[in-house]
Amino acid sequence: MEHVFNIFRLGIKELRSLLRDPMMLMLIVYAFSLDVYVAATGIPETLYKAPIAIVDEDQSPLSNRITSAFYPPHFTRPAMVGLHEVDKGMDSGSYTFALDIPPDFQRDMLANRHPTIQLNVDATSMTQAFTGGGYIQQIVQGEVADFAAGTRSAAPSPVDLALRARFNPNLTQSWFASLMEIINNVTMLSIVLTGAALIREREHGTIEHLLVMPITPFEIMASKVWAMGLVVLLACAFALVIVVQGTLQVPIEGSIALFLAGAGLHLFATTSMGIFLGTIARSMPQFGLLMMLVLLPLQLLSGGMTPRESMPGFVQIAMLAAPTTHFVKMAQAILYRGAGFDVVWPQFLAIIVIGGIFFTVALTRFRRTISTMA
């Protein structure tokens, strides 16, 4: 019991040290409040007010119909320009899209001559260009098909497609972005807080005071793990309930308690990783550089931003050793699809095993670092 009391008291000391660090407190508050809100609402969910210009060289009912199909909020009101104005407008960035309807377009379409409409796209805005190109293609094809159906009989399609989107029926970007931002911030803050706590003690000289006390390296490390992990876990719960459910009105299908239990296991692994990085770095700038090398692969290759199935095979296998891979899969299953423990228990088990390995490695490194200081 003496070991437990020591771990508890040292953890309280860590919490008090954190309360005296206003920059870290601001980082925690921002990461689980404004950052989540901005990630969910800052990027438009779909194409939004994209500037488009149209060159109508046909001046037919069909070309007028196509022109009138472009309206807010996806596009701005089309700017009707001459052919000589297209290059100047594209070069100046006034138009992202420029649609050129050729002469005799309606007549050639009715005569089955397969006329071509030219679409110029400013691809410097890659995401908007890709999405907008698909939108414009659908709009033009739809208007042409409706116009053709009014002038001649069309054979009915032999197949109907009934589309049902599960878990996010409206394909709302904020539903995905807000929760994934919380998942990423749990990993980032847990590594930052524990690593910074260790470096802060080394820079302030308080680590030498701990070395002369009747406590073990295990107790020192365990206190940092539970104290910083608790802070991140409480902030995560606040973000889920207040920001995601309350402010953004995002429905959470599964059990928040089950997710927080999985997050607690994940924090056991990532806080250990933070201490390991803190023993390697000798200053906060060095720690920041190590964070860039470690955090970016953890977030980009864990399956949260892109499906793991689209990654090279060796990357998929290598990332199984990272706790974020299993945490992202577990979190998405619980929060998006309402999965229970009977579905996510393999991820729980994997995180426990990986966390145990990380904790052991970090503790070994921590003991070695303390012995050299002593």
3-state percent breakdown (helix, strand, coil) of the chain, nearest 5: 70, 5, 25
Tell me the per-residue pLDDT of 292-348, one tens digit each, with 9 for 90 and over: 888 888 888 888 777 788 888 888 899 999 999 999 999 989 988 888 999 999 999
- DSSP code per residue over 309-339: GGS-HHHHHHGGGSHHHHHHHHHHHHHTT--
pLDDT at 281: 86
Q: Which pLDDT score, from 0 to 100, does residue 356 have?
A: 94
Q: Which residues contact 209 (CB under 8 A, 6 or more apart)?
A: none
H/E/C letters for each residue in 156-183? CCCCCCCCCCCCCCCCCHHHHHHHHHHH
Could you give the CA distance from residue 339 to residue 366 in angstroms, rounded to a whole number?
38
**Residue 149: what pLDDT?**
78
Q: At 98, which helix (H) or strand (E)?
A: strand 97-101
> What is the pLDDT, as a whole number, of residue 228?
92
- Non-local CB neighbours of 78 within 8 Å, separated by 6+ positions: 52, 53, 54, 67, 70, 99
pLDDT at 371: 66
Q: How far apart are CA 40 and CA 333, in angstroms?
A: 19
Query: Within a 10 A sphere around the Cβ of 214, how many other Cβ atoms?
Result: 7
- Those residues of the chain that have pLDDT short of 50 are 152-153
Taken in order 31, 37, 41, 42, the sign of the CA dihedral is negative
Q: Are 55 and 67 in contact (CB under 8 A)?
A: no
**Cα 143 from Cα 99, distance rounded (Å):** 14
* pLDDT on residue 329: 92
Contact 48, 133 (CB under 8 A): no
Please state, in angstroms and rounded to a whole number, the distance separating the CA atoms of residues 357 and 272. 9
Q: Are 235 and 320 in contact (CB under 8 A)?
A: no
SS3 call for 216: coil
Q: Look at the alpha carbons of 282, 284, 285, 289 in this order and tell me if their dihedral is positive or negative.
A: positive
- Tell me the two tokens of residue 297: 């692969």
Q: How much is the pLDDT for 124?
A: 80
Topology annotation, domain 52-148: abc type-2 transporter like fold (3.40.1710)
pLDDT of amino acid 156: 61
pTM for the model:
0.76
> Distance (Å, rounded) from C-alpha 346 to C-alpha 352?
10
Residue ranges covered by each domain of the chain: 2-42+172-373, 52-148
